[in-house]
Amino acid sequence: MPEFAWPWLLLLLPLPWLLRRLLRPAARAEAALRVPDLAPFADLGPKRSGGDRTRPVRLALLWVMWIALLLAAARPELIGDPIEVPVSGRDLMLAVDLSGSMNRDDMELNGRPATRLEVLKVVFDDFVQRRSGDRVGLILFGTNAYLKAPLTFDLHTVNRLMQETPLGIAGGRTAIGDGIGLAVKHLRDRPAENRVLVLMTDGANNSGELEPLKAAELAIHAGVRIHTIGFGSDDLQAHRFYGGTFGEQMVNPSADMDEEAMREVAKLTGGQYFRARRSEELLEIYRGLNALEPVPGPDEILRPVRSLFQWPLGIALFASLALGLLHGGRSLWRFG
């Protein structure tokens, strides 16, 4: 059955009748200027009997308008059956490195060479789709760190924002400490038991105001657990020119990665450090993170609400149109 959000407005229903009873009719003012009128010629027109026959209809329409407007103002709603929405209670912030090194094509995706960023976006899509019930946020960092998406249940939007992010949007360097600091800022006001940051980088901190270990201390005080992921291949066959000829040489494209700092950040905050050298390893790491013990939380009970105010409002509109047509026809009949 429909319910009213503001049912007390229905107490105003007898207001027009009370005003009619309590207030005196306005006194007829004496005309300051007398002009000729058609009163002497009234007997020449068509004879009418019974007075104003439209008065009861007009009065009924006015009451219909008043009642319909009150019903619309009281906000009638149709409330559906309760729906349980499972919520794990976790607030998970993802911090992603978008420095220039993410453009290195030392990865493989579906049997073809791919850049680190391409592989990350594919794995990110799989990871986010498995986070049903968690609030997920996204931080991007390069030379600077900024919040791309706040903590939200809208996982589709978070994933889309990541998929549409171009390389280098945050600058070419790597501010790991600033990325951690920004995540702590947005997680510290959440419930203390479920503040989690997953940070992925392929390099070392070489930009920003905060050092990673100093940022980890801030995370400890804020109760934020940090899982770190080092991403990038250990060997890449590169074409080099030496000795007057072209040749191939095996190089380590991840030589500049600061794994020691990432291990220490994870250890200090109670998290884990993971190393992904191939796309398959990164996928397994993200799937392993899905197995983190959720903080038990009660399911949220939602009841869908459908507003019905437009129906009485429509009735009031049609009543006003009918009243206008009736008044216009009455005037034409009088002077026609």
Calpha distance 323→331 (Å, rounded): 12
Side-chain half-sphere CA neighbours of 330 within 13 A: 13
CA distances from 57 to 20, 47, 68, 326, 335 (A): 18, 21, 16, 9, 20
Q: Would you say residue 187 lies in a domain?
A: yes
Give the Cα separation of 83 and 113 in Å (integer). 46
Give the domain extent around 172: 85-289
182: CATH: 3.40.50.410
The pLDDT score that the predictor gives to residue 113 is 81
> Facing residues of 139 across strands?
95, 147
Q: Is 141 within a domain?
A: yes
As a whole number, the mean pLDDT across the chain is 80
Whole-model pTM above 0.75?
no
Half-sphere exposure of 212 (CA within 13 A, CB side): 26
Please report the pLDDT score of residue 264 as a whole number.
93
The pLDDT of residue 213: 92
Evaluate whether residue 57 is within a structural domain: no
96, part of any domain? yes
Within-domain flag for 35:
no
Closest CA to 200 of 235, 176, 179, 230: 230
What does the pLDDT read at residue 110?
Answer: 79
According to DSSP, the residues that pair with 152 across neighbouring strands are: 136
- pLDDT confidence of residue 332: 47
Residue 105 resides in a domain: yes
pLDDT at 100: 83
Asked whether the CA dihedral 213, 221, 180, 200 is positive or negative, the reply is positive
Q: How many domains does the chain have?
A: 1
Render pLDDT for 203-236 as a digit per residue (tens, 0 to 9).
Answer: 888 888 889 999 999 999 998 999 998 887 765 5
Q: Which has the closest alpha carbon to 177: 231, 213, 139, 230?
A: 213
- Encode pLDDT of 108-131 as tens digits: 777 788 888 888 888 888 888 877
- Assigned domain for 138 exists: yes
* Percent of the chain as helix, strand, coil, to the nearest 5: 40, 20, 35
All residue ranges of the chain with pLDDT < 50 are 50, 239, 241-242, 247, 252, 293, 295, 332-333, 335-336
CA dihedral of residues 62, 67, 68, 71 (deg, nearest 10):
160
Query: Which run of H or E residues covers position 285?
Result: helix 279-289
In a domain, 212, yes or no: yes
